[in-house]
Amino acid sequence: MTVLSGRPEVGVVAPFWLDRPDTEAVDIAVAADLAGFPLLWIGEMATFDAFALATAIGAVTERIRLRIGPLAAGVRGPVAVALGLSSVATLTGRKVDIALGASSPAIVADWHDRRWERPAARMREFVRALRPLLAGQRADFEGEQVRAHGFRLRRPLPDTAITVAAFGPAMIRVAAEEADQLVLNLVTVEQVARVRAAVDRHAAAARWRPPRIAVWLPVALKLDAATMRQLSAQLAVYLAPPGYGEMFTELGHGELVQRARGGASRAQLAGHVPAALLEAIGAIGPVERIADRIAAYHRAGADHVGLVPATAADPGAQALLAALTPLATGAAAAVG
């Protein structure tokens, strides 16, 4: 198991905004590096291959650690992931970590022509196959869904941390028993506290050191019309899925969840997302208010908060990340 830093951290997430240029991710990375944030999350959706984007970012930044993913564990195999990580680390000279997620049937089966079945079981096997590969051992894993034999990395990455994206009970248990860290997206402070308790319970039963918890938190200095549209469009995607819908219902937005589960389009839903819901799962306002929100997540059990910057009214998140420079060194963790 890779042991991550014990103190609370604040990092930055390269967001995927449908209404912004694809290359804005690079601009955000440069701004985050200049502001002194220690870590950048680099996901993968419909723009760039994550390893290619990470290599490009490593070439134009100086210090920031790169955490690649969450990547769909059903798309690449452990060897492909290990090769990608080693490639980025070698070509950039930067430390890299990996985050894995289940993704969705649409992405795994429809986009990539891979089987979608028992995602939690596959995740457990994937982590168990990947960890020794990163440590420099020759692949020798035979599972029900994941197999790898004979391959060995020429440049091992023993310090690479493995994060699992989790929300439902099955994936939370896998993360608690196998991962170095668990990451949650679009959750309330109260939900983080509940997940923290579940993770600690599962880890203790498995005699595994409880993994850290990371949270992705949408952030903006103000909720103008353009930012409201951008954040609402993202949140609309999460209204229907199990777990998320129940959480939003608990917050008093059950009617919106029912519309989503009844087949309403993302555009229709986005127009009805209230500002109060965005503020419940994000940090919006002046720097002091953002710091207070980050500190609340830390107190609830989050060890790392990844800031997802809104850029509709702030291209490249230049103004936002510059204003949040004090938080990059842990000032937010000391609030409260």
pLDDT tens digits, one per residue of 17-46 = 988 999 999 999 999 999 999 999 999 988
- Kindly tell me the burial class for residue 265, based on how many C-beta atoms sit within 10 Å of its own C-beta (0-12, 13-18, 19 or more): exposed
Lowest-confidence region among 145-154, 174-183, 261-270, 303-312:
261-270
How many whole angstroms from its chain centre is CA 193? 18
pLDDT at 330: 62
Provide the pLDDT for residue 4.
53
pLDDT digits (tens, 9 = 90+) for 159-172: 999 999 998 899 99
Residue with token string 């919006």: 284
Closest CA to 160 of 78, 216, 217: 78
| pLDDT at 245 (0 to 100) | 86
**Between β-strands 283-284 and 140-142, what pairing exists: parallel, antiparallel or unpaired?**
unpaired
CA pair distance 202, 180, nearest whole angstrom: 14
The rounded distance, in Å, linking the Cα atoms of 77 and 71 is: 11
Asked if the model's pLDDT at residue 72 lies above 80, the reply is yes
| Residues 117-128, mean pLDDT to the nearest whole number | 96
Query: Do residues 36 and 329 make contact, with C-beta atoms less than 8 angstroms apart?
Result: yes
If you average pLDDT over residues 74-82, what whole number do you get? 97
The dihedral region occupied by 181, where left means phi > 0, alpha psi between -120 and 50, and beta the remainder, is beta
> Given its phi and psi angles, is residue 307 left (phi above 0), alpha (psi -120 to 50 degrees) or beta?
beta
Backbone angles phi, psi at 238, to 5 degrees: -100, 5
Q: Which residue has the higher pLDDT, 329 or 151?
A: 151
Q: What is the structure's pLDDT at 50? A: 97
Q: Phi-psi bin for 263: left (phi > 0), alpha (psi -120 to 50), beta?
A: left
pLDDT at 56 over 50: yes
- For 107-121, 189-203, 212-226, 306-320, which range has the lowest pLDDT when averaged over its residues? 107-121
Residue 18: the pLDDT is 83
Q: What is the mean pLDDT of residues 128-134?
A: 98
Which of residues 106 and 306 earns the better pLDDT score? 306
Q: Is 65 helix (H, G, I), strand (E, B) or coil?
A: strand
Per-residue confidence band for 3, with pLDDT thresholds at 50, 70 and 90: very low
- pLDDT band, residue 127 (cuts 50/70/90): very high
Q: For the chain, which domains are there?
A: 9-222+285-334 (3.20.20.30), 224-281 (no CATH)
pLDDT tens-digit profile of 81-117?
999 999 999 999 999 999 999 988 888 888 898 988 9
The residues near 81 (Cβ < 8 Å, ≥ 6 apart) are 71, 98, 100, 130
Confidence class for position 6, pLDDT limits 50, 70, 90: low
Position 230 scores a pLDDT of 95
pLDDT of residue 66: 98
Distance of alpha carbon 191 from alpha carbon 247, whole angstroms: 8
Residues 6+ apart with CB under 8 A from 12: 28, 29, 32, 37, 39, 40, 41, 306, 307, 309, 317, 321
